[in-house]
A and B are shown apart, each in its own frame.
Chain A
Amino acid sequence: MSLTAEQTKTRNKELIEEVLSVYPEKSAKRRAKHLGVHEEGKSDCGVKSNIKSLPGVMTVRGCAYAGSKGVVWGPIKDMIHISHGPVGCGQYSWATRRNYYIGTTGIDSFGTMQFTSDFQEKDIVFGGDKKLEKLIDEIEVLFPLNKGISVQSECPIGLIGDDIEAVSKKKSKELNGKTIVPVRCEGFRGVSQSLGHHIANDMIRDWVFDKTDPNKNAFVATPYDVAIIGDYNIGGDAWSSRILLEEMGLRVIAQWSGDGTIAEIENTPKAKLNVLHCYRSMNYISRHMEEKYGTPWVEYNFFGPSKIEASLREIASHFDDKIKEGAERVIAKYRPLVDAVIANFKPRLAGKKVMLYVGGLRPRHVIGAYEDLGMEVVGTGYEFAHNDDYQRTTDYIKDSTLVYDDVTGYEFEKFVEKIQPDLVGSGIKEKYVFQKMGVPFRQMHSWDYSGPYHGYDGFAIFARDMDMAINSPVWSLTKAPWK
């Protein structure tokens, strides 16, 4: 029995009332602003966002350090990123995000390593600046091929008054202008990962762009130079995207920041166009490059063939006919693959309902890919979106979609229990909760150790993975036959 949009709206509104009833009054009031039902034609999703999480509610959110070290800086492979402070932050974020790269780890690449100043009590009491200086010297001895260092601040740094900017300047000078970037991404700053992205972007502006001689790398520009911004190459996403841009005749001069290098970052202002995938985490630097270097930027979406086609054409529209023809050629080339993937998987997935809760761009960006397979997204929400994300989301979601911002463990569990979707797409912390409930699940941060999901090559994997999750025989075993 399927509900009409109006019935769904009523059901969803009741559901929201129901979950709010469990909170103390003050908290219910605050949470109410983050839960909504989308009304067709509205300019946003009717929810507040980018506001402090309530204490004690089991938010899924992370912190500014996670946004800076874990997302933006960490994937730049030929730099060493120091988790500056106690051991834990670097330990828990060590190589778990699957930002794929090519390089000799420990020699010229450092992406899957954990460098930390491992703060002890004395560092808290006496400050860690001297330790940081010494640590940078030790890095230079033991990892001589590193192309730069970033200092990713953990909570104590900002609280004990360390001057990591002074240390960075001093060491950079001693080391002939080496790129050393102090990042004030202490975990208590802001309300989520989001501020960490912003701070990380700003530090690239201040400590890389503004300090780099534009002629540092011999670089011959072409009219077709673009940079991929906001793709972290999770499971190889940036690669299965890059291949399409190159096939249409563009030259990708930089990847931000999955499989990225500091040289690529430094050369990005020479691009003719920045193509931006994860708007949330890298719109800041895109806007800056537009203002300072006149580089235009365009958002794109490489999830699922419909959005890929539209994006290829949109990107091509910034170039001449050669590229426009290139885009059509690419679309035609992959059409048989797309048709075959849809023929294989759509019959197995059509009509299935999906609930999402992710970060960055995915709560809206992946909707098209599900729809290409005949599936329907009935609920979605962001960990750390701002209002401009929810505005953009209205282009993707249907009337009556349940929208939940910074959802709490309790709310999400209740929503899924009542709506009974055929698939939930969220993170590692949520995965097992829903699987225990017998609801198929895919991790939509790490692609559940699969991927890539971007581009045409990725779409085939995406379709196969959703099919595996939903149509696994395990879900028929959850009830004992004698019960």
Chain B
Amino acid sequence: MSQNAEKVIDHELLFRQPEYTSMFENKQKNFEYKHPEQKIIEIQEWTKTKEYQDKNFAREALTVNPAKACQPLGAVFAAVGFANTLPFVHGSQGCVAYYRSHFSRHFKEPTSCVSSSMTEDAAVFGGLNNMVDGLANAYSMYKPDMIAVSTTCMAEVIGDDLDSFIKTAKSKGSVPEDFDVPFAHTPAFVGSHVTGYDNALKGIVEHFWSKAGDAKPVAGKLNFIGGFDGYTTGNLREIKRLLGAMGVDYTILGDTSDIWDTPTDGEYRMYDGGTTKEEVKAALNASATISFQEYCTEKTLKYIATKGQETVALNHPVGVGGTDKFLMEVSRLTGKAIPDALTKERGRLVDAIADSQAMIHGKKFALYGDPDLMLGLTAFLLELGAEPTTVLSTNGDDKWAAKVQALFDASPFGKNCKVYPKKDMWHLRSLLFTEPVDYLIGNTHGKYLERDCNVPLIRLGFPIFDRHHYHRFPIWGYEGGLRVLVMILDEMFERLDQSTIITAKTDISYDIVR
């Protein structure tokens, strides 16, 4: 018998017990009609070759293991960053079940969002009734201050017009006439989740600003946009600390730091924190807006610029140079000096890098993920003296690739590095075989590459399902840079220990001081 009541055996070990392993063998032998083992090994080895890579890169129709999600996910992300705001996705209801699950698996937090639950009849007649009933139900049950509407591909394919639907719903009394229902069309077949974030955020900002009259810019007042970010809780708190330390008058547009980090104290908070409507309205009068992620805010910044604000688009700064640039931009835009305390923090990060640079120098990295994150991490790795030899993004385009190339070109460590726009993780698998690296950086899905290609994975990205609480810590600012540095170092030391742990064989180098 395999199981033990005193020490209950989990799936990890249960299925290695002989009763089970022999059962598996029999199932395979008698019923699965599996390919011969030799054939499997032959194909497995073939997938590691350059020949396979060429065929793999010749793909035009098939996507395998992409590192991107669809627009409405980003729209929900943007919406939950506003105070007492209920995201409402117009279309099929299964989509919303997926977004909520996806966020909850990453943040280990609830995510509230409703759907207009469109079915076949809506596909034929349009989803107006669903909007009318849906807004009425959501408004009476969940008592939001604002309902932010976006769309699934179903509603987009049949051409539902949100503007007129919402007006009709209001005229039918679903919600009061003056109730705020910003909206954005977010077709899943255009762009990715970062596009959806951009569209939804623009929808909310435009909703309030378009009827607010002319801007009355206040010198030194700043808006900040974080973008779609798996570390949003830790990161936005870090940004607030930095801007607070500089004494800046600022507004975060889409502040998701509290809603995805509510306490367990006996009370469930469906809404918590977030940018209030008054803050959004007042944000019109800022003198400038800084976006931490250019590709999450292309349209939003364009719109904000039409209101006379200066806009600055950064690319997910990580590390010394990136944070320097951010703080100097803040200083330039606000006239506030960077305080000595932050200069000292900077020095501490540089100190940490100096202490550890020998571990990282010349190590090769492959990394994949959202376009801005890739730019930020590439810059940091180059700063550490590492070689980001393979930088890949499924939702990064050729323009993005040129920016990554510019980073390579500006550093001697970028000489042998290559960027891959619009590629997926099956492409990356080929690259990891033909051009091996020392470490891989990416999201949880990268663990399949870690297994197949025997390359250690450092988890930085979205989603992270199989590690807990990463999102609670910043990867932005000097503090965040330190966190990323330690994550990289921990993996390196761990690997070194693992490879030197066999008694009387490899343990010569099993050092106590490293």
Q: Which residues of A contact B (CB under 8 A)?
A: 22-24, 26-27, 52-66, 78, 85-89, 91-94, 96, 100, 102, 104-108, 112-121, 123-124, 131-132, 134-135, 138-139, 141-142, 144-145, 154-156, 158-160, 187-191, 193, 217, 235-236, 239-240, 242-243, 246, 252-255, 259, 261, 263-264, 267, 333-334, 337, 340-341, 343-344, 408-410, 413, 427-438, 450-452, 456-457, 460-461, 463-464, 474, 478-480
Contacts and interface: CB of A to CB of B under 8 A. Distances in A.
A192 B297 CA distance: 35
A410 B112 CA distance: 11
B301 interface: no
Contacts of B52: 142
A67 B407 CA distance: 45
Interface stretch (B116-124, B353-361, B364-372): B116-124
A431 B104 contact: yes
Contacts of B4: 337, 460
Given A24-B137, A235-B11, A429 B101 contact: yes
A236 B14 contact: yes
B253 to A, nearest CB: 25
B362 to A, nearest CB: 31
A187 B189 CA distance: 15
Contact of B102 (A92, A118, A457, A464): A92
Contacts, number: 344
B513 interface: no
B98 interface: yes
B153 A86 contact: yes
Interface of B: 1-6, 8-11, 14-15, 19-20, 23-24, 27-28, 30-35, 39-40, 43-44, 47, 52, 55-56, 59-66, 68-70, 72-73, 88, 91-95, 97-102, 104-105, 108-120, 122-123, 130-131, 133-142, 152-154, 157-158, 187-190, 192, 262-269, 426, 429, 445, 448, 452, 465
Given A94-B65, A428-B101, A429-B97, 11 more contacts: A56-B133, A66-B94, A96-B101, A139-B62, A142-B426, A155-B153, A155-B154, A188-B123, A239-B15, A432-B104, A434-B268
A383 B11 CA distance: 27
Contact of B92 (A63, A240, A246, A437): A63
Contacts of B60: 134, 138
A52 B130 CA distance: 11
A27 B132 CA distance: 12
Nearest to A338: B5
A106 B452 contact: yes
A261 B35 CA distance: 12
Contacts of B117: 52-56, 59
A114 B39 CA distance: 23
B63 to A, nearest CB: 4
B61 A131 contact: yes
Contact of B23 (A121, A235, A243): A243
Given A333-B1, A432-B108, A88 B95 contact: yes
A248 to B, nearest CB: 13
Contacts of B110: 429-433, 436
A56 B43 contact: no
A114 B426 CA distance: 10
Contacts of B1: 333-334, 337
Contacts of A118: 63, 66
Max chain A Cβ within 10 angstroms of own Cβ: one of B4, B6, B33, B452: B33
A55 B141 CA distance: 12
A268 to B, nearest CB: 10
A27 B136 CA distance: 9
A115 B9 CA distance: 34
Contacts of A191: 119
4 smallest beta-carbon distances between A and B, as pairs: A63-B94, A88-B70, A55-B134, A56-B134
Nearest to B130: A55
29 contacts: A26-B133, A55-B130, A56-B115, A56-B138, A58-B138, A60-B97, A62-B94, A87-B192, A88-B70, A92-B101, A93-B98, A105-B448, A106-B429, A108-B35, A115-B63, A117-B61, A118-B66, A124-B153, A134-B60, A135-B62, A155-B154, A341-B5, A344-B5, A428-B101, A433-B268, A435-B264, A436-B267, A437-B266, A461-B8
A263 B32 contact: yes
Contacts of B267: 436-437
A460 B3 contact: yes
Contacts of B130: 55
B266 A188 contact: no
Given A63-B93, A63-B97, A100-B11, A58 B119 contact: no
B189 A123 contact: yes
